[in-house]
A and B are shown apart, each in its own frame.
Chain A
């Protein structure tokens, strides 16, 4: 039985998906705790074109980034190689300032060597979203 708050369990796998390129994960403060589930899901990917993991941040996540995210990503990378993208999805009004903050946070992590397992640092991008999209994110 699935309950609200348990949307992703070990029952799901991506072994049938032959053209899957990107796995997007909505960033959250409990990222570290779902590392096992994410690694399991990643290990089921058989698509030959898979090459990207996108961590999606909403505006408020930027000032309180997920704990232990680099550690989880390192373990995920050992299972499957991918390019890492940090994507901020925010309202146009606050996007610029929050993007700047996300870039600073990411640069600090890169400087501290947290992402030395990656061939290149995470790409930081942003996308303006409407209030509707923020609501349903």
Chain B
């Protein structure tokens, strides 16, 4: 055992990191690596804490809501976090939980100190819950955020556009089942002026059946230059195809929407029930 311990220290760090990186989706093995020795811990810890999942409900109250944020902050692990996911509880009667009232002073401070976040997923984000603008809670992610997934967001199209344009490095946008409000166009947020520039990279859209939304997006941002598109139930699909005529290299389509929809619905139900 002693010999093995010494040998791991002689193992070049770069090689060790490459080996451990192969276990990226095998959490039990990563945890085992982290308990082996300090060098292995250093190699495994960034993968173990890469994605922070904040759940509306959790069997263990210590892992519910924004509590994991303070736990990670106390352990000094927040700098390792590269992705954050806000997960909703499917049988939720209390409305969206990602709202200002859930950000206590302390958890809001921890949230705002998160730097280097590249991936963000938010379920059930209701923009109307943020009276002072959702930008106040997300502008600190602006310099680094590359991938944004919004699952069932509720907002005015203008709010969504302003939100997306907060992140100039965004090259992977996923909009799943957007619910757009019919209310009047809210006043544009002038505190955090959106950055001008066309969208690029990868785009995934599920179920966007409101006419004119994408046309307004494209007009307001000066175009779109997506390289990959993954489109399912998108009313303005042809507009997107033509806008990205000179950049689109890969297109994914779903010829049998209804079947896919039923499968996805049953899968999502099973996922939440489990």
Report whether over half of chain B's contact residues are helix, strand or loop; otherwise say mixed.
Answer: mixed
Q: 1/0 per residue A1-35: CB within 8 Å of B?
A: 01011111001111011111111111011110110
The yes or no answer to A108 lying at the interface (CB within 8 A) is no
Using Cβ atoms and an 8 Å threshold, which residues of chain A touch B26?
A: 92
* Stretch in B58-66, B128-136, B240-248 touching the partner: B240-248
Contact of A17 among B209, B233, B244, B271 (CB under 8 A): B244
Contact, CB under 8 Å: A4 / B235: no
Tally of contacts, chain A with chain B, CB under 8 A = 118
* Stretch in A99-107, A111-119, A129-137 touching the partner: A129-137
Contact of A26 among B176, B206, B252, B271 (CB under 8 A): B252
Q: A12-B241, A128-B25, A136-B174 are in contact. Are A5 and B261 (CB under 8 A)?
A: yes
Contact, CB under 8 Å: A4 / B249: no
Q: How far is the CB of A23 from the nearest CB of chain B, in Å?
A: 6
Q: For residue B175, which residue of chain A has the nearest CB?
A: A136
Complex CA–CA separation, A23 to B250 (angstroms): 6
Name the interface size band of chain A: 35 or more
Contact, CB under 8 Å: A23 / B245: no
Q: Which B positions have Cβ atoms within 8 angstroms of A?
A: 25-26, 85, 121, 149, 151, 174, 176, 204, 206-207, 209, 230-235, 237-238, 241-242, 244-261, 263-264, 267-268, 271
Q: Which A positions have Cβ atoms within 8 angstroms of B?
A: 2, 4-8, 11-14, 16-26, 28-31, 33-34, 37-38, 41, 56, 60, 92-93, 128, 131-132, 134-137
